[in-house]
Structure 1
Amino acid sequence: MKRLRKSCILIMTTAVVLSSGCSLESKYDCEFFAMDTVMTINAYGSKSESAVKAAQNEINRLDKLLSVQNENSEIFKLNQSKEMTVSEDTLTLITRSKEIYTLTDGAFDISCEPLTREWGFYSGLENKVPSQKAIETALEGVGAEHINIENSTVTLDENTSLDLGGIAKGYASQKAAEILKEYGVTSALMSLGGNVRAVGSKPDGESWSVAVTDPDDNSKSVGTLKISDKAVVTSGVYQRYFEENGQIYHHIIDTKSGYPADSGLKSVTIVSDDDTLADALSTALFVMGFEKSEQFYCKNSSLFGAVFITDSNEIYITDNLKDSFMSEQGFEVISE
């Protein structure tokens, strides 16, 4: 593995998603709340309004299907019943999640629901540091081996419950992008919380500019990524956290320990053609920490690119992003 020191100039830093130079082509914008976050879709084209509305409907449909807290969702009902014949979307995501669990040696784990609940990282719950006994009890049902799939029927072990929050937005953005393209949209940008999805390039043919948030001040950025027709997903300590007795506890749980991941990273940004994978890997690599993530990249470099920000504010990028990432700060490029 080689690391090269490099510095570039930050072009734009004023927002999480940046764009300019758009043409006079018909544009339709939409802002709405889904999957526990504010989402925006900006699309260009003669059918942009119909396309955006259809994409929004798809995201809302998946939200109702996959929500861990909605009592009418399949995931909620599965967690209660422990056995259920599920829809194609739910089956696809659970199956994919198990595959990524294996790929990441358990760093991505949708059976985290009991732990996330103990820490109070759900709407309506109070954040708290659980007792060691509560964590040990929650850990009894953690792991993909407790999730069994036969045809379209999913069976969970008694102490196992699922939370698809670490992968559902990626899947939703992928499905929404497919719908936009079906309507003939060749230029669009979606922001789904920490997930950004570009459809094609900007109307003028230039790449979209997506800012990488500064985890110490999320009103600022540490650099920008130039992308076309890709997903950019960030997981970071700044997104959800609480403080107790002077200690900060964030929402990204290491399911091996039962505690928020103490990996030496502040944020991980993944760039990929595969929105679903990008969403899951942003969590998995954050849990792994930089050294293990570097090794993981060297084995799977064709699948994704990444930007890492460490606890000491060092920035590392994978070599497949060296021509698209720009920053006024110094950073290192990692390669095989």
Structure 2
Amino acid sequence: MKLLRKSCILIMTAAVILTSGCSLESKYDCEFFAMDTVMTINAYGSKSESAVKAAQNEISRLDRLLSVQSENSEIFKLNQSKEMTVSEDTLTLITRSKEIYTLTDGAFDITCEPLTREWGFYSGLENKVPSQQAIENALKGVGAAHIKIKDSTITLDENTSLDLGGIAKGYASQKAAEILKENGVNSALMSLGGNVRAVGSKPDGENWSVAITDPDDNSKSIGTLKISDKAVVTSGGYQRYFEENGQIYHHIIDTKTGYPADSGLKSVTIVSSDDTLADALSTSLFVMGLEKSGEFYSENSSLFGAVFITDKGEIYVTDNLKDSFMSEQGFEVIAV
């Protein structure tokens, strides 16, 4: 997207606060472009305008810090220099990424940058199917073992480059939610591309309704989740892809093979109170596939819930979400 769309509107809406009377409650809506996607923040409360602006500024700051393509970002400079003393945010995310790499047995891997570049999934590059030799060369630097951390200094092996795109939006939404709460906002909904973050409940105390996109028709949903104070993150092959010689190639790369993940899934939606983890797991479980994801859930059910849509259009929901997910299509439940 080439143009920055930004529109912030202060809307005064009547809200019933007590059964004995009514009061005016401020609602502030803001739409802006960051992290290569359109984002919106809708917040309620007397301090909603200043809170939303502070949250937006934080997201934009993190975008400048963590972008893989911006020449002024720390990630870009680290990828070029291979050794660098980094800021607290960058250190936190790289450290957390290594932990999640271990947790997911390598399904989440921020060293995917050379592979993503070979496939042309960056702005300004042409999509193409790389040669086998190009993939093998890119794989030489893949894996968390190629990242060394000592104090605040990150060292990368010669063939290693990082891309935090699979975790940065989750981290940004978590930081933005904290800022909203610190500024007195107890009711808000943020949409950061495929990431949705609810702060508290709706102003009337009801849960927020978050729709899950139908991978076969982006104008429709396959169901809705009722949530409060949680993150909902969806990853799917339908979000970014190209076609060559009748074959579709999507942007979620399995770093074990160097090719787009062929896991039998069309999309994975993660629900968690940990935004950063939710963002990383939506990619990880997509790469794992349904069976391995089910095993992973049984061992880590306290951390997240998930909704899976298979290539056949089947819907599977973890048992900790069965009462908050609704779909006219019906679904199977994955138990611990």
**What is the aligned-residue RMSD (CA, Å)?**
0.9
Residue in structure 1 matched with residue 172 of structure 2 by the alignment: 172
- Report the Cα offset of residue 119 of structure 1: 0.2
Residues 68-96 of structure 1: CA deviation (Å, up to 9, x unaligned):
00000000000000000000000000000
In the alignment, the residues of structure 1 paired with residue 138 and residue 232 of structure 2 have an alpha-carbon distance, to the nearest angstrom, of 32
- Report the Cα offset of residue 331 of structure 1: 0.4
- Counterpart of 1:330 in structure 2: which amino acid? G
Residue in structure 1 matched with residue 199 of structure 2 by the alignment: 199
Residue in structure 2 matched with residue 318 of structure 1 by the alignment: 318
* SS in structure 2 of the partner of residue 25 of structure 1: strand
In the alignment, the residues of structure 2 paired with residue 93 and residue 253 of structure 1 have an alpha-carbon distance, to the nearest angstrom, of 20
Q: Are the aligned partners of 1:22 and 1:202 in contact in 2 as well (CA < 8 Å)?
A: no
* SS in structure 2 of the partner of residue 197 of structure 1: strand
* SS in structure 2 of the partner of residue 276 of structure 1: helix
Residue in structure 2 matched with residue 147 of structure 1 by the alignment: 147
Residue in structure 2 matched with residue 114 of structure 1 by the alignment: 114
* SS in structure 2 of the partner of residue 189 of structure 1: strand
- Report the Cα offset of residue 285 of structure 1: 0.1
Residue in structure 2 matched with residue 13 of structure 1 by the alignment: none
For residues 93-104 of structure 1, the aligned pairs below 5 Å read 93-104=93-104
- Report the Cα offset of residue 238 of structure 1: 1.0
- Report the Cα offset of residue 226 of structure 1: 0.1
Structure number with greater CO (CA < 8 Å, separation at least 6) is: 1
Residue in structure 2 matched with residue 53 of structure 1 by the alignment: 53
- Deviation >3 Å, runs of 4+: 21-24
- Report the Cα offset of residue 203 of structure 1: 0.2
Residues 13-65 of structure 1: CA deviation (Å, up to 9, x unaligned):
xxxxxxxx993521000000000000000000000000000000000000000
- Report the Cα offset of residue 330 of structure 1: 1.4
In the alignment, the residues of structure 2 paired with residue 265 and residue 296 of structure 1 have an alpha-carbon distance, to the nearest angstrom, of 16
Residue in structure 1 matched with residue 209 of structure 2 by the alignment: 209
* SS in structure 2 of the partner of residue 101 of structure 1: helix
* SS in structure 1 of the partner of residue 25 of structure 2: coil
- Counterpart of 1:83 in structure 2: which amino acid? E
**Is 1:295 equivalent to 2:299 in the alignment?**
no
**Is 1:26 equivalent to 2:26 in the alignment?**
yes
Residue in structure 1 matched with residue 105 of structure 2 by the alignment: 105
Q: Are the aligned partners of 1:22 and 1:203 in contact in 2 as well (CA < 8 Å)?
A: no
In the alignment, the residues of structure 1 paired with residue 25 and residue 258 of structure 2 have an alpha-carbon distance, to the nearest angstrom, of 50
Residue in structure 1 matched with residue 21 of structure 2 by the alignment: none
* SS in structure 1 of the partner of residue 334 of structure 2: strand
Q: Are the aligned partners of 1:25 and 1:203 in contact in 2 as well (CA < 8 Å)?
A: no
In the alignment, the residues of structure 1 paired with residue 216 and residue 97 of structure 2 have an alpha-carbon distance, to the nearest angstrom, of 30
Residues 107-163 of structure 1: CA deviation (Å, up to 9, x unaligned):
000000000000000000000000000000000000000000000000000000000
For residues 1-336 of structure 1, the aligned pairs below 5 Å read 23=15, 25-336=25-336
Residues 187-234 of structure 1: CA deviation (Å, up to 9, x unaligned):
000000000000000000000000011000011000000000000000
Residue in structure 1 matched with residue 6 of structure 2 by the alignment: none
Identity %: 89
Distance of aligned partners of 1:41 and 1:214 in 2 relative to their CA distance in 1, 3 Å threshold: same
- Counterpart of 1:49 in structure 2: which amino acid? E
- Counterpart of 1:59 in structure 2: which amino acid? I
Residue in structure 2 matched with residue 7 of structure 1 by the alignment: none
In the alignment, the residues of structure 1 paired with residue 31 and residue 191 of structure 2 have an alpha-carbon distance, to the nearest angstrom, of 9
How many residues are paired up? 316
Gaps of 5+ in 1: 1-20
* SS in structure 2 of the partner of residue 26 of structure 1: strand
TM-score (norm 2): 0.93
TM-score (norm 1): 0.93
Gaps of 5+ in 2: 1-12, 16-23
In the alignment, the residues of structure 2 paired with residue 181 and residue 330 of structure 1 have an alpha-carbon distance, to the nearest angstrom, of 36
Residues 230-252 of structure 1: CA deviation (Å, up to 9, x unaligned):
00000001110000011000000
* SS in structure 2 of the partner of residue 27 of structure 1: strand
- Counterpart of 1:329 in structure 2: which amino acid? Q
